[in-house]
Amino acid sequence: MFEGFATESVPTEEVRHGGSGPPVLLLHGHPRTHATWHRLAPLLAQDFTIVCPDLRGYGRSAKPPTTDDHEPYSKRAMARDALAVMRAPQAHDRGCYVAQRLALDNPAAITRLAVLDGVPIGEALARADARFAARWWHWFFLGQTAKPAEPLINADPDAWYRGTPEEMGAEAYEDYRNAIHDPATVHAMCEDYRAGLGVDRAADDADREEGRRITCPVLFLWAGRDDMEELYGDPLAIWRSWADDVRGERIDSGHHMAEEAPEDLAEHLRRFFKAG
């Protein structure tokens, strides 16, 4: 897994990196680790320097103490981590919220932003209806503090998170399984969702009110076999309300595109990142 890549620890994150050329940062989603990119990263490393960290709280990364407002696990805090690691992101799921925050807070640092299968947190919550709640109820379950989710998850992490070596790859699955069996990681991942319902949504709402937009080109790719279009109709229209230069396409895949359709995904990303 990640043949030719090196691994190192920085103050907040465990980072895998390899390849040569312009830098591309890959930010994973929940409940994965950086290992989710193991099929995609070597394809992109032919043209780019690829950096794959474990997000704050996930995998082997640092797990800072929580606070009442959950700010240590906010996407703004994670974006600060990402900026300390490198510049120019591509991101999936929860990672796309970190990349969006990085692009909004540090526009001079980002040249191109690619987002996979996610819309801004503020947009998702503003549109949340019964259909969203039925499909994505875990957002609200993981976000609870009065009746925390951690004891239920830790009782049987494999039953809660599932995943198989066949779909993820044996080594990536083992990395992921080690992470979900660590109660500190489970707590950190719940904190990610608690921040999402609070300080992260407030940050999105403040940006919208102030008219702040993403200034770099944005590529949005969504999974044709997921529910993005069912929930949002035209998801590109949502991203165009946040950025001036947005292009996108549907990928024939389920939600975890980097695991399910790495060649197709790599080709779309390679064209976008190489574009003038």
Active site residues: 93, 255
**Range 58-82 average pLDDT:** 94
Q: What percent of the chain has pLDDT over 70?
A: 96
pLDDT per residue over 105-124, tens digit each?
999 989 999 999 999 999 99
What are 161's strand-pairing partners?
A: none
pLDDT tens digits, one per residue of 7-22 = 887 766 778 999 999 9
The arrangement of strands across the sheet holding 218-223 comes to 6-9, 14-19, 49-53, 23-27, 89-92, 113-116, 218-223, 246-251
Q: Which value, to the nearest 10 degrees, does the dihedral of the CA atoms of residues 76, 57, 13, 156 take?
A: -150
Domain chopping of the chain, boundaries: 6-274
Q: Is the pLDDT of residue 90 over 70?
A: no
Cα dihedral 190, 256, 55, 61 sign: positive
Q: Residue 252: what pLDDT?
A: 96
pLDDT in tens, 247-275: 999 999 999 999 999 999 999 999 999 88
Chain segment 160-180, per-residue pLDDT in tens = 998 899 999 999 999 999 999
- Averaged over 30-40, what is the pLDDT? 95
pLDDT exceeding 90 applies to what percent of the chain?
86
Tell if the pTM clears 0.95, that is, is over it.
no
Residue 235 in this model has a pLDDT that exceeds 70: yes
Distance (Å) of CA 71 to CA 11, 65, 275? 18, 10, 36
Query: Collapsing DSSP states into helix, strand and coil, what is residue 127?
Result: coil
pLDDT at 86: 67
| Best CATH choice for the domain 6-274 from the list 3.40.50.720, 3.30.420.40, 3.30.70.20, 3.40.50.1820 | 3.40.50.1820
